[in-house]
Amino acid sequence: MELTSAKKKFYDIINNIVSFNKVSHAYMIEIDNYEEDFNCVLDFVKLILDNKNENNISALIDSGNYPDLNIIEPDGNVIKKQQVIKLQENFRNKSFLNNKMIYIIKEADKLNDASGNTILKFLEEPEDDIIAILVTTNRYKVIETILSRCQVLSLQDNNLNVDISDNIIDLVKFIIKKDALFVNYQYIMDNILIDKVVAREILNEIEVIFINYLNYISDKNSYDCNNDIVKILSNVDIDKITNYIAIIEEEVQKLDYNVNYKLWLDCLFAKLIGG
């Protein structure tokens, strides 16, 4: 079956995430419908757990017998607190197969206040070997504090943004010119990184852009890259780009724990300039 543009982009992104060892502790995957798209979510799980295809993990996942994968679905119209508590209990022990443990919450928009607060505590104190994947058909119906702790991936064609916005291009230019971040500080605050929610989405997108560029320069026959991005980054050392990725990933994770958004932004800019 031919992949849609959104699915092609999704598979490019997840391959980049795994190949560059940039797997985050929590993802929100927005899909069109569960019947057609949930297998794509499971493909991401397989890629994380068996990226070298050395084990029989894919077959175990397909048969529903992989011991370190837990899937929660709504009990009636909601996901109940007790379901989340049971999940946490299951993940207190170490992996059966000495691998990462992953849980998927289907219809994450059906987390209520009680179950949402319980899973939020799980997300706020992530363990290295536990990965959360929350799935929904509408990210904006998910409790905002939960959404803010997840990296968002989309399988929805109507959310596909093929062209990189001028704001994204500008911010990438400012990052590589270092002092330009502070020279253009007010412009960035007023027009690009206007608040925490927008900052998270834009910085996650820039991280993906950097990763895609690194893939592109390593194998131009297999990867495409925006022409503007190629021109901007062509004279930047690979080590610097890799460091930018690490800084962005680290600081985005701190975003929700900083009450003062401006201080967080100052810290981010200082680290990017130093990087």
Give the pLDDT confidence of 46-57 residue by residue, as tens digits. 999 986 555 688
The CA-atom distances, in angstroms, between 142 and each of 19, 32, 106, 111 are: 29, 15, 12, 8
Give the pLDDT of residue 159.
Answer: 43
Max CA pair span of the chain: 56
Of 140, 159, 178, which marks where a domain is finished? 159
- Residues 263, 231 share a domain: yes
- Residues 9, 124 share a domain: yes
Q: Are 205 and 152 in contact (CB under 8 A)?
A: no
Q: What is the mean pLDDT of residues 160-188?
A: 86
- Residues 122, 170 share a domain: no
- Write out the DSSP string of 126-159: --TTEEEEEEES-GGGS-HHHHTTSEEEE--GGG
> For residues 137 and 52, which has the higher predicted lDDT (pLDDT)?
137
Q: Which domain does 72 fall in, by range? A: 5-159
- Residues 13, 72 share a domain: yes
- Residues 32, 125 share a domain: yes
CA distance 121 to 146: 10
Of 131, 159, 187, which marks where a domain is finished? 159
Q: Where are the alpha helices (DSSP H) in the chain?
A: 5-19, 34-49, 57-62, 81-90, 113-124, 144-147, 166-176, 180-183, 185-191, 196-218, 227-233, 238-254, 261-274
- Residues 155, 37 share a domain: yes
Phi, psi of 26 (to 5 degrees): -150, 135
Give the pLDDT confidence of 53-72 residue by residue, as tens digits. 556 888 889 999 999 999 99
Q: What is the mean pLDDT of residues 152-157?
A: 84
Position 5 confidence tier, pLDDT thresholds 50, 70, 90: confident
Query: Whole-number mean pLDDT of the chain?
Result: 88
Residue 201 has pLDDT above 90, yes or no: no
- Residues 127, 198 share a domain: no
Query: Residue 99: CA atoms inside 13 Å, Cβ hemisphere, count?
Result: 19
CATH number at residue 77: 3.40.50.300
- Residues 202, 81 share a domain: no
CATH number at residue 211: 1.20.272
Of 97, 129, 159, which marks where a domain is finished? 159
- Residues 130, 46 share a domain: yes
Position 202 confidence tier, pLDDT thresholds 50, 70, 90: very high
Question: Which region among 82-96, 98-112, 227-241, 250-264 has the lowest average model confidence (pLDDT)?
Answer: 250-264
Residue 273 has pLDDT above 70, yes or no: yes
Phi, psi of 87 (to 5 degrees): -60, -45
> For residues 113 and 158, which has the higher predicted lDDT (pLDDT)?
113
Residues 44, 227, 189, CA angle at the centre, nearest 5°?
80
The single residue listed with the structure tokens 């297998």 is 39
